[in-house]
Amino acid sequence: MTTTAVEGLSPLELERVLTIPEVMKFTSLSEDTLERRYARWIIQLSPRRRGMKLKHVLSIAGGHAQASEGKG
């Protein structure tokens, strides 16, 4: 079984989708900040639910993600 350097999580586990409230708890970022800086990684799960893949959440929380450039 192949694992990654991220605490032994498999590539499949890193593809798990967390809801935005879970992402907010994990990263300590507000929903607005997530939308402004990391909108490219937000996934529409249903008309009222959105989420983000665990691999992206870990990248944000670890300080390795580059935020998108804001307008203006």
15-46: per-residue pLDDT in tens?
A: 999 999 999 999 999 999 999 999 999 999 99
At residue 8, the pLDDT reads: 86
Determine whether 62 is exposed, middle or buried from the number of CB atoms within 10 Å of its CB (0-12, 13-18, 19+). Answer: exposed
Backbone angles phi, psi at 47, to 5 degrees: -55, -30
% of the chain at pLDDT higher than 90: 71
What's the pLDDT score for residue 3? 38
Domain regions of the chain by residue span: 12-61
